[in-house]
Structure 1
Amino acid sequence: MASNINKLVLDEADRLLEMGFWTDVQRIIGMLPVKRQTLMFSATFPGLLESKAKELLISPALIEVKKTEDTKPAINETLYLVNKGSKTKALIDQISRHNWRQVLVFIGAKDNADALCKKLNKAGLHAAALHGNKDQAERETTLEQFKQQKVNVLIATDLLARGIHVEQLPVVINFELPSNAETYVHRIGRTARAGQKGIAVSLVCHGETEYLTAIRKVTQRELALQELDGFPVTDKPSTGESKRAPRDKQANRRTNKKKSIKQFQGKAKRS
């Protein structure tokens, strides 16, 4: 019974807020006793979360974990500029070329994770997807198979990846850059843990350059984009201008000048 509950624990509170689950959190809180202990855990504490916390917590004690030394030397970060439509082939190429046996791939959406997983398996890689649509038993089985390298490529969304800990994970790949700059830091932090070294590769298209700018600002690192051998970039950066051809615009203007329905009718065909 809800009336017997005296403790509420909110883990990964920043992600709950970012992923749009805060309404559900409030609904749950509304069913709990007012007199209770509430504990909130979060890797980051942005301003919006701080204001939400003040609504939930009464005179809370704030405990902060001391930041560890910069792990930059332990993680070899490489960012490739590729066409958006070439990302899957580029991912397969990187994994195959380097013969990586254990790779954690980050992607934004659950549906995209499943679609990418199918493509990688079709290419001969042993891949599995980990996201919120999987039940707990399936998640645990998939993660254990990845740890034992029975699954070589694990494709995960950010919400599930926060709890992943794999000893000596060698490679993390960002198939898509996260919209939240701090999430990038958490992602690549899955490798190079406990004094180990690791590799972080990001496949970046022109549409993600704003995300990259924010990531550079947060990390205070150059994170230069490189060309990827065999994958020439033909996509052009968006200028924000209309892509409609000038001739089409003229046709539109002529159409707007027509004053009666008869003018839209072509000449009658002779039988």
Structure 2
Amino acid sequence: MYLRWVDKEQQKAHLSIGWEVVVATPGRLIELVAEQALDVSMVSNVVLDEADRMLEMGFWTDVQRIIQSLPEQRQTLLFSATFPQALEDKAKTLLSSPVFIEAQKEAKNEGAIEEILYLVNKGSKAKALIDQITRNDWSQVLVFIGAKDNADALCKKLSKAGLSAAALHGNKNQAEREATLESFKQQKVRVLIATDLLARGIHVESLPVVINFELPSNPETYVHRIGRTARAGQQGVAVSLVCHGETEYLDAIRKTTSREFVLKELGGFPVTDKPSTGENKRAPRDKQANRRTQRKKSIKQFQGKNKRS
């Protein structure tokens, strides 16, 4: 049985019939156990999939609550695409004498993905994105963005520019997600804007290009993002639109991938933004003026002295 964010009462009815395997999101599982709709006292095996994502997204407290409700005698399996130190430390608290198995990494063609990074103003990213899609005439474009609200806003801008676009993020229910992804796969939607929440679940055959509208804060996420293109030995393009505020993220990606990643200029989009120096832009006397304003007690104090006529 698959437990996700759909009608809970319907799920309770299915659970009352009986089950052998339950696949669930942490939040919904905790709710059903708390409401005694799901008895986990006889669970013999528990699988934690996408463990690194659950840790990164702040679900680990929920995972711990679930584990505490299970029998001590059980087999626990943890699967993860990456295994950072933070996850290793957490795993040690859940697993007893674990066996670590690392699957052989796929041999990647060094030139399979052409990675291009453009330095652009933060406020010019939407226009630069539209320019790249229309200029290169890409038939399918997967765009990654950080926040779901930003995904919807960008989707509206692309639609206004005449590009068929759709957003895929956590606020969409499962039926909407499946319908949106299917429309993209069938090329009824040209541009799919997705958050990292769904990055690993997206598989599109012969996807020509991936665009990072915003760089991810986690460098390993960058690798997962661009891995949506150039699959099964094919060629692909990964374009990143980078502003000065993302310098730290870019440095982390360079370190993780051991690649230089030279930033290029994008024709028609001159960079006028300046790198942050870390200094406060307000002049000292402006600060003093602000403090004097805050000390005003009456509106009369803001009025200048009237000259006698």
1:29 is matched with 67
Cα RMSD (Å):
2.3
CA distance in 2 between counterparts of 1:10 and 1:19 reads 14
Q: Secondary structure at the match of 1:182?
A: helix
CA distance in 2 between counterparts of 1:43 and 1:217 reads 19
- 1:101-131 residue CA offsets vs partner (Å, 9 max, x unmatched): 1111111111111111111112111111111
CA distance in 2 between counterparts of 1:114 and 1:31 reads 38
1:34 deviates by: 2.2
Structure 2 gaps, min length 5: 1-38
1:76 is matched with 114
CA distance in 1 between counterparts of 2:46 and 2:150 reads 33
2:145 is matched with 107
CA distance in 2 between counterparts of 1:145 and 1:33 reads 43
1:264 deviates by: 5.3
Alignment of 1:149 onto 2:187: yes
1:73 deviates by: 0.8
- 1:81-120 residue CA offsets vs partner (Å, 9 max, x unmatched): 0000111111111111111111111111111111111111
Aligned residue runs from structure 1 range 12-27, under 5 A: 12-27=50-65
- 1:128-176 residue CA offsets vs partner (Å, 9 max, x unmatched): 1111111111111111111111111111111211111111111000000
CA distance in 1 between counterparts of 2:146 and 2:290 reads 38
CA distance in 2 between counterparts of 1:136 and 1:265 reads 57
2:93 is matched with 55
CA distance in 2 between counterparts of 1:192 and 1:94 reads 19
Alignment of 1:205 onto 2:238: no
Alignment of 1:97 onto 2:117: no
- 1:28-62 residue CA offsets vs partner (Å, 9 max, x unmatched): 22222222222111111000100111111112221
1:8 is matched with 46
Alignment of 1:242 onto 2:277: no
1:250 deviates by: 5.6
Letter in 2 for 1:127: A
Task: Answer 1 or 2: higher relative contact order, Cα 8 Å, separation at least 6.
Answer: 1
1:194 deviates by: 0.8
Query: Are the equivalent residues in 1 in contact too, given 2:140–2:209 (CA < 8 A)?
Result: yes
Alignment of 1:134 onto 2:175: no
Query: Are the equivalent residues in 1 in contact too, given 2:113–2:235 (CA < 8 A)?
Result: yes
Inter-CA distance 38–267: structure 2 relative to 1 (3 Å threshold): same
Letter in 1 for 2:235: K
TM-score (norm 1): 0.92
TM-score (norm 2): 0.81
1:190 is matched with 228
2:23 is matched with none
Q: Secondary structure at the match of 2:135?
A: helix
Q: Secondary structure at the match of 2:254?
A: helix
2:103 is matched with 65
2:20 is matched with none
Query: Are the equivalent residues in 1 in contact too, given 2:199–2:224 (CA < 8 A)?
Result: no
Between 189-198 and 111-120, report the one with greater CA deviation.
111-120
1:27 deviates by: 2.0
Inter-CA distance 158–267: structure 2 relative to 1 (3 Å threshold): closer
CA distance in 2 between counterparts of 1:77 and 1:134 reads 30
2:29 is matched with none
Could you tell me the percent identity over the aligned residues? 76
1:245 deviates by: 3.3
2:253 is matched with 215
2:15 is matched with none
Letter in 2 for 1:103: V
Between 213-222 and 193-202, report the one with greater CA deviation.
213-222
Q: Secondary structure at the match of 1:2?
A: coil
- 1:168-199 residue CA offsets vs partner (Å, 9 max, x unmatched): 11100000001111111111111111100000
